[in-house]
Amino acid sequence: MSFTWKLSGEAGYGITTIGLAFTKLCTRSGFYAFDYSEFPSLIRGGFTTHELIFSDSPISTTKATIDLLVALRQDSFDMDAHRLTPDSIVLYDDQEVKLSGGFLAIPMPYRAIKLKHKAHQVMVNTVSIGASFAIFGWDFAMIDRMIEDDFAKKGQAVIDFNKLLAKEGWDHIQQCITDNVKLKTKIDQLKHALKPPMTKVSKQVMTGNDAFAYASAMAGAGAYTAYPMSPSSSVLATLAAWQPKTGMVVLHIEDEISAINQALGFAYAGVRVATGTSGGGFALMVEGLSYAGMAELPVVVFIAQRPGPATGLPTWTAQAELLFAIHAGHGEFPKIVLAPGDVTDMIELTLKAFDLADIYQTPVIILSDKALSESHESINLEDVKKIQSKYVQNRGKIVKNTTQSPYLRYKDSPDGISEMLIPGFDPVHHWQANSYEHREDSHTTEGSLDAIKQSEKRSRKNKTYLGDIPYLGEKYLGFAPPQYYGNTNAQTVFVCWGSTKSATLDAMNILESRGQHVGVLHFTHVYPLAPSTKSIFDPDKRYVFVENNSEAQLAKVIRMELGIDVGGQKKDQILRYDGRPILAEDIVNQFHSQSIKT
Amino acid sequence: MSQANIIKDLSGYTPTWCPGCGNWGIIRALKLALSEQGLGPTDIFVAFDIGCSGNMNDFLHANSMHTLHGRSIPSAIGMKLAHHTKQVLAVGGDGALYGEGGNHLLHACRGNHDITVVAHDNMVYGLTTGQTAPTSTRGMKTKSTPGGSVEMSINPLALAISQGATFVAQTFANNSRHVADMIKAAMQHKGFSLVNILQPCVTFNWVNTYQYFFEHTYYLGSEYDKSSMPLALLKSLEHISERFPLGVLYEKSDSVPYHLSLPMLRTEKSLVSRADRPDLSFASREFV
């Protein structure tokens, strides 16, 4: 069972606020919920949508059809009319919107209610919530609870007024039932289908950005430096708000160049640190990334992707920075790029990113995108607790005291990793984080042999990460191969990375239900790729790349890294690059049309 | 430890600067200032910028970063906040601090970060072999401005004072004792301090020579009131007529450094010494 509810209207009228309250309510009622919001890059006057899907099983993507659409304006309806089915319900403003099509249309007297209560446009959303709940056949007590929680900070008067308006919406539906048989039947049907689950699993509602912030604190990061940029900005706000509780130093600095160079100051001094931005801000950071590579400083860089180039589509989604991220920074140095598939993945991989940065003493990049960064998802609290209780910081060869004398910061070693002494504690030894090529003792050098030795040492860390060289330390923590899902005999395999995971898995399930076997290969450790990954690709199978970009960037990375010819032709690519996330139905439809062609 | 021993500890490789370069006087002064405060290499954190001055990374021993060009200030701030009980310096030239990294200087001033910026101001680009600098006098002929530079010269002192720096001093590389005194005073100041050191480049700047600075500088007398910002601004404007006052132009006595505005750093325990991971139970309540 899954149900999509969508509300849209003018930006600045509380649509996302009420939407989030609804997502949380669904979660508290025992459902799994996921929401996705679209809004323009302006504060007022544009068009905002909030789409919510709730289900009795975990979900982290929406679907193509809308089950209940609230249309407050004509464009709310026009934009989504094609997503309505005969089973859909449309609640619409009877004074504003003209409808056409075969679905269950229920006119709502928004204007009359507004006049009656002298209510502001923002309040109209509450009327819609009341009406929606009546249609779902849910208890009115659930609305009471939602309003009490959501408006707790705003005082009793606001709570009471919202309840009153929700009741208006609720009552209107109850009145409609008496003379609308179709509606009554529908409600009876939904009441059964949308009954909140009896067994309630404790869950929490988080965005990908929340998850990154949360896991950063869990990893023991001492600092976060950033300049605001959509869609990464909420990480800065969240961590800044938490400072009194986490003790983290959170800095909103003058630009992204400063963000990474300050982060490297923290890293040199021994503090776990991250910086965050989107593609444009990351472009300003790349010289600093190269410095981290040369001086072997651990830093986590969080990138929430949006469509570029340049300012691009600031508030929309894309997976278009993969090639940029893996190639970022002048010169040759190891870097690790991770791309979580969903919110739980984000928690796990963020923890791992901090450990990898410390172990390999090199930058680790986390690629998120608007779809993952800003969508809310309900995740099982038990899973989070398990991850948290299992987690133990692994700082690799970063130490507070050294037994070496003289201390050689960049001492050559079989795994390429040298001991990093946290400066300021040892009364004798000191070293420099040198942006110049250096000798083992960290002094500047221009000597040929030193240059070769250090260059090879740095690149050896890559091999250690990929598992080719044993890591002489604690348990190996490094590259993880892609995860395969579905029927192992499937002749067609969808290949995806990062946030397109859920939609691709849904597409697989839809095709499976139609008797068509496909598998899914999902990459989270997108760069570098272990040579052994090559063996996962069967030359007799067809691989179709599902990506939120126009060039099938992962396919390029695989061709470059593994030397196998996959995903280079249009027929083997399912791509979306209009700023919207790929949905399961997009994948199924494109797959069908491409299969017909071939 | 004796001062002589500290100086020995601080000394790295023999510098590679040109004979007669102002940097020789500056490194001598730096070692003097540090050793007189009893600070050896492991007691301090230094961010060296890129340039002839930044090359001091191999000549002065310290916990240090040899940063990217123009980025010594952000790196210094990171080190300071990570280890706020330690003294942190940023050492760079006018190109790095007033040109490439000019934006960072403005924001470090207004943030009142407790770091000491030691600016080697030789009014020319040395390491790239003689191009115009942000502090070059207007009309100066250099490799990159054969017809004479068109831009006004940056006024580092006025810039820093107006942007909220709480300690601004100027000194001349020829007088190591004075340079050392200025650096010491700057380090002892709580908050952002800038020491602009006028420094002849004997190879690429034939205008601003030792002789030039002897003629154009003067020491501020004991009657000068360094606590007055308007007076300090007025003094700094003498730059326009190529007059360079030497001494502490401005010091705000009740300055509160950035890190002391952060509750979590109002303790002797630095960020890097904290082993504990935070209790995140508050967050699970927030997300339900």
When the pLDDT of each residue in chain A is averaged and rounded to a whole number, the result is 94
The residue type found at B117 is V
Residue A405 lies in a domain: no
Write the pLDDT tens digit of every residue in A535-557. 999 999 999 999 999 999 999 99
Tell me the chain A residues in contact with residue B277 when contact means C-beta distances shorter than 8 Å.
218-220, 393
Dihedral sign (CA A181, A187, A190, A191): negative
Among the residue ranges A195-209, A386-400, B148-162, the one predicted with the least confidence is A195-209
Residue A38 lies in a domain: yes
Residue A547 lies in a domain: yes
Instruction: Give the closest-approach CA distance of A391 to chain B in angstroms.
Output: 11
The proportion of chain A whose per-residue pLDDT surpasses 90, expressed as a percent, equals 84
pLDDT for residue A473: 57
Q: Is B203 on the interface with A (CB under 8 A)?
A: no
Is residue A474 over pLDDT 70? no
Q: Which two tokens stand for residue A170?
A: 């609720």
Substitution target in A242, A432, A450 with the highest count of B β-carbons within 10 Å is A432
Q: Is B75 on the interface with A (CB under 8 A)?
A: yes
Residue A452 lies in a domain: no
Tell me the chain B residues in contact with residue A248 when contact means C-beta distances shorter than 8 Å.
264, 278
> Do A257 and A190 belong together in one domain?
no
Q: Do B271 and A220 touch (CB under 8 A)?
A: no
DSSP per residue, chain B = --HHHHHHHHB-SPP-PPTT-HHHHHHHHHHHHHHHTT--GGGEEEEE-SSTTGGGGGTB-SEEEE--TT-HHHHHHHHHHHSTTSEEEEEEEHIIIIIITHHHHHHHHHHT-S-EEEEEE-SSBTTTTSB--TTSPTT---SS-TT---SPPP-HHHHHHHTT-SEEEEEETT-HHHHHHHHHHHHHSSS-EEEEEE---TTT-SSS-HHHHHHHEEEPPTT--TT-HHHHHHHHGGGGGT-EEEEEEEE-TT---GGGGSGGGSSSS-GGG--PPPP-HHHHHHT-
pLDDT for residue A4: 97
Question: How many CB pairs lie under 8 A apart between chains A and B?
Answer: 183
> Do A232 and A163 belong together in one domain?
no
β-bridge pairing A420-421 and A398-399: parallel
Q: Work out the pLDDT band at B10, boundaries 50, 70, 90.
A: very high
Greater confidence (A168 vs B286) lies with A168
> Do A92 and A236 belong together in one domain?
no
Give the CB-side neighbour count of residue B145, counting CA atoms within 13 A.
Answer: 18
Is residue B276 over pLDDT 80? no
* Number of Cβ atoms within 10 Å of the Cβ of A181: 9
Is residue A361 over pLDDT 80? yes
Q: How far is CA A235 from CA A209, A226, A315, A345, in A?
A: 5, 9, 15, 17
> Do A95 and A169 belong together in one domain?
yes
Q: Work out the pLDDT band at B279, boundaries 50, 70, 90.
A: confident
* Domain with A487 in it: 483-597
Q: Tell which phi-psi region holds residue A3, choosing left (phi > 0), alpha (psi between -120 and 50) or beta.
A: beta
Q: From A27, which residue of chain B is nearest by alpha-carbon distance?
A: B288
Contact status, residue B133 vs residue B124, Cβ threshold 8 Å: yes
Write the pLDDT tens digit of every residue in A57-95. 999 898 999 999 999 889 999 999 999 999 999 999 988
Nearest to residue A162, comparing CAs of A152, A175, A172? A152
Write the pLDDT tens digit of every residue in A109-137. 999 999 999 988 888 889 999 999 999 99
| Residue where one domain finishes, among candidates A138, A168, A199 | A199
Contact status, residue A128 vs residue A71, Cβ threshold 8 Å: no
Which of A259, A265, A435 shows the shortest C-beta gap to B82? A265
pTM over 0.90: yes
Nearest-angstrom CA–CA distance, A256 and A150: 35
Nearest-angstrom CA–CA distance, B127 and B251: 32
Residue A443 lies in a domain: no
> Do A51 and A132 belong together in one domain?
yes
Q: Do B107 and A254 touch (CB under 8 A)?
A: yes
> Residue A114's domain is classified under what CATH number?
3.40.920.10
Q: Do A261 and B80 touch (CB under 8 A)?
A: no
> Residue A277's domain is classified under what CATH number?
3.40.50.970
Instruction: Give the closest-approach CA distance of B197 to chain A in angstroms.
Output: 24
> Do A237 and A170 belong together in one domain?
no
Kindly provide the ipTM of the predicted complex, given to two decimals: 0.97
Is residue A27 over pLDDT 80? yes
> Do A183 and A218 belong together in one domain?
no
Write the pLDDT tens digit of every residue in A232-273. 999 999 999 999 999 999 999 999 999 999 999 999 999 999
Domain count, chain A: 3
Residue A411 lies in a domain: no
> Do A242 and A336 belong together in one domain?
yes
Instruction: Give the closest-approach CA distance of B154 to chain A in angstroms.
Output: 20
DSSP per residue, B181-226 = HHHHHHHHSSS-EEEEEE---TTT-SSS-HHHHHHHEEEPPTT--T
Q: Do B82 and A242 touch (CB under 8 A)?
A: no
Is residue A46 over pLDDT 90? no
Q: From B9, which residue of chain A is nearest by alpha-carbon distance?
A: A428
Residue A171 lies in a domain: yes
> Residue A527's domain is classified under what CATH number?
3.40.50.920
Nearest to residue A289, comparing CAs of B53, B271, B80, B71? B71
Q: From A287, which residue of chain B is nearest by alpha-carbon distance?
A: B68
> Do A176 and A219 belong together in one domain?
no
Q: Which two tokens stand for residue A53?
A: 């899907």
Q: Do B71 and A443 touch (CB under 8 A)?
A: no
Tell me the chain A residues in contact with residue B288 when contact means C-beta distances shorter than 8 Å.
24, 27-28, 202-205, 381
> Do A73 and A176 belong together in one domain?
yes
Q: Report the DSSP beta bridge partners of residue A108.
A: A93
Q: Do A255 and B284 touch (CB under 8 A)?
A: no
Is residue A598 over pLDDT 60? no
Contact status, residue A258 vs residue B74, Cβ threshold 8 Å: yes
| Residue where one domain finishes, among candidates A345, A369, A390 | A390
| Residue where one domain finishes, among candidates A373, A390, A407 | A390
Tell me the chain A residues in contact with residue B47 when contact means C-beta distances shorter than 8 Å.
265
Q: Work out the pLDDT band at A596, boundaries 50, 70, 90.
A: low
Q: Do B78 and A443 touch (CB under 8 A)?
A: no
Substitution target in B104, B272, B281 with the highest count of A β-carbons within 10 Å is B272
Residue A536 lies in a domain: yes
> Do A265 and A306 belong together in one domain?
yes
pLDDT for residue A274: 98
Nearest to residue A156, comparing CAs of A147, A167, A166? A147
Write the pLDDT tens digit of every residue in B195-224. 999 999 999 999 999 999 999 999 999 999
Q: Work out the pLDDT band at A299, boundaries 50, 70, 90.
A: very high
* Main-chain phi, psi angles of B198, to 5 degrees: -75, 130
> Do A250 and A383 belong together in one domain?
yes
pLDDT for residue A597: 54
Q: Do B82 and A28 touch (CB under 8 A)?
A: no
Q: Which two tokens stand for residue A79?
A: 């934009």
